[in-house]
Structure 1
Amino acid sequence: YERVAFQDDCVKGWTALFGKQVHSSGIGGLKSRLRHSLETPVVVERFEPTTQECFACGKRHELSLSDKVIECDCGWICDRDLNAALVTLRKGLGLGHDQAVGLDRPELKPPEREAAARILGSSPCIRVSFLL
């Protein structure tokens, strides 16, 4: 990939909230591997409210950890984590809310998707699914 965007969360800080679940998740190792193995990692600031920001219009919503869906006045309804990933992508690419983000990657060929699934799927902590 030309760029991979991820948020620079303090994984150690999550331990206070989630305990040992964080240690067994492997997220810290994944973040470290992304940061050190990519030619062009794009790190989004730690304190960006990606889970609370509407991907479609940018309005900020107060969500608790128990809120699994973001529903905005603009009509955007989305899974909270997917919305956060889309916001992270937009911020990582440096795009504003008036600029489109392509959600499909037609330039990726099936062998590239299979390779990514093979690499990421080797971790028991990551679930990979894709359609050819």
Structure 2
Amino acid sequence: MGQELYDLVIEHLQLVEYDYFDLEYESKDGHTFWLDHLKPVQKQHTTHKDYVFTFAVKFYTPHPNLLEDEFTRYLFALQIRKDLQNGRLPCSESTAALLAAYIAQGEKFECILGVGRFEISMAC
């Protein structure tokens, strides 16, 4: 079942605030679908022999300041950066510039200190 795969990913990441995230996959025609937790994986993802899922933010919180876990906030920042780069996050130029500045500050901070439980580092 889809729920079993989702639970394995959440356990592997040791994610505390997992309700905001889910797994998505791409169909043959390029459409993106969220994993249905109640159906077997094989009945949902019929595109390839190898199953490829992407872990992503499914629900953006209207109050990100209420996110308690540092790793959760980090995953949100990664998703926002990816969505800005791919044009999936519609916003004004000024908002995009502000978000890019926050992301750049966060990446510089990571390079100096490391982040979270996986010590993620990026090239500075």
* TM-score, L = length of structure 2: 0.31
Greater percentage in helix: 2
* TM-score, L = length of structure 1: 0.30
